[in-house]
Amino acid sequence: MAEGRQKSETKTDDGRDSNREEETSKDTSPKTPVKERGHMLYSFLTGQYMPIPEKDWLGRCRKVTEFEKLNRVGEGTYGIVYRARDMKTNEIVALKMMRMEREKDGIPISGLREINILLNLHHENIVTSTEVVVGKSLDSIFLVMSYCEQDLASLLDNMPNPFTEAQVKCIMIQVLKGLKFLHEHYIVHRDLKVSNLLMTDKGCVKIADFGLARKYGVPLKPMTPRVVTLWYRAPELLLGAKSQTTAIDMWAAGCILGELLAHKPLLPGRTEIHQIELIVEMFGTPTENIWPGFSKLPALEHFSLKKQPYNNLRHTFTWLSEGGIRLLNFLFMFDPKKRATAADCLDSSYFKEQPYPCQAEMMPSFPQHRNKRKSTGEPEQERSRNKSSGSALDFGGTYNAQKKKRSL
């Protein structure tokens, strides 16, 4: 034993371990020169590089060069959207390029969530995504979606006459059907607003932009509270609630319904504090009686709400029927557990009374404002409307700047 151990520890004349030198002297490098490897994979079974057929270089993804970009439709925090033509099928599609400038560890989690959600959701009132295409570099990734000719943000700013109440009902029924489908599949959108609602020339409304969408389960896990564009943000988010439910989408749906009916933003807050003040002025001050647990919300440790005991929805919509006021109040319940669900809203008497909702096919058609190429000499006001200032991608251009100008 001693002799064997001594043999294994023998040294060479220069002090190096002979066994270790013998092991390291073995040539384990692949025979294929590095410069000739190109698109190759290393096999752990054979210890050799093997070539990848050119048709498999991008996996099942097509190249973005197979699409002809026609014009840019919108830009936001999470990507840029182009109108493009699929040169194989001659179909007009929307190409959403994911923003990767600041990413060092691959695709951002928001992009992965959006890809996963959209590729697995199929509903007539949710934008359809068919595939992912790639460019030459790893940071050039595009999501191919069905193209919609309009978005509600652009329409509200450019249409000569506002939507009629029958048309508003038609739009909201489709939005609620899309939300019902999402919520039944345990997905909360978290950024519902008019600029994320698209419309085809056949009057079909589709919910778009799932960059902030999340799947949820039971029990609920904490999520980032700073979601949903400010004017559509539910009070529980503004006051720092840790859990998020589908109720935040329903509050945003109420804001959209109110905006379409009033022909202007319903709660255009400048800051989070101002947004809370507008909510209190419109709906009154919440209490423990109507919202159990309200007084324990984190934000209330730093400030208190003014006392305002009245609900002013009726004074804001003096012409609206009792069914419409009842639906708005149901959507604007302070307690998320008591707030209307999408299914509740679809059963509302408001959609069953005159004026009856028009059919989607009877919705008016409009010029495609998003596809007009602006000249360099356009007025400053028009140029500012094309800038992005939202928290997520706005398919039809950012609506925040547009709405501020309308509300002045």
Q: Which residues belong to the annotated binding site?
A: 96
User: Nearest 5 degrees, angle CA 313-CA 317-CA 322?
Assistant: 80
Tokens of 322: 């009792």
Among the listed residues 17, 139, 191, 344, the single catalytic one is 191
User: Nearest 5 degrees, angle CA 389-CA 188-CA 197?
Assistant: 50
Residue pair 198/206 in contact (Cβ under 8 Å)? The answer is: yes
For residue 383, the Cα-to-chain-centroid distance in whole angstroms is: 24
Residue pair 188/246 in contact (Cβ under 8 Å)? The answer is: yes
Q: Could you write out the DSSP letters of every residue in 78-110?
A: TEEEEEEEETTT--EEEEEEEP-TT-SSSS-HH
Q: Is 205 helix (H, G, I), strand (E, B) or coil?
A: strand
Q: Within the chain, how many helices (H) and strands (E) appear?
A: 13, 13
The one-letter code for the residue type at 369 is H
Residue written as token pair 């099928």: 89
The b/e string for 307-338 (b: 16+ C-beta within 10 A; e otherwise) is eeeeeebeeebeebeeebbbbbebbbbbbbee
Beta-bridge partner residues of 206: 198
Binding-site positions for ATP read 96
The DSSP secondary-structure symbol of 231 reads G
191 is catalytic: yes
Q: How far is CA 201 from CA 56, 91, 198, in A?
A: 38, 15, 10
The b/e string for 76-87 (b: 16+ C-beta within 10 A; e otherwise) is bbbbbbbbbbbe
Pairing of strands 129-134, 141-146: antiparallel
Catalytic residues: 191
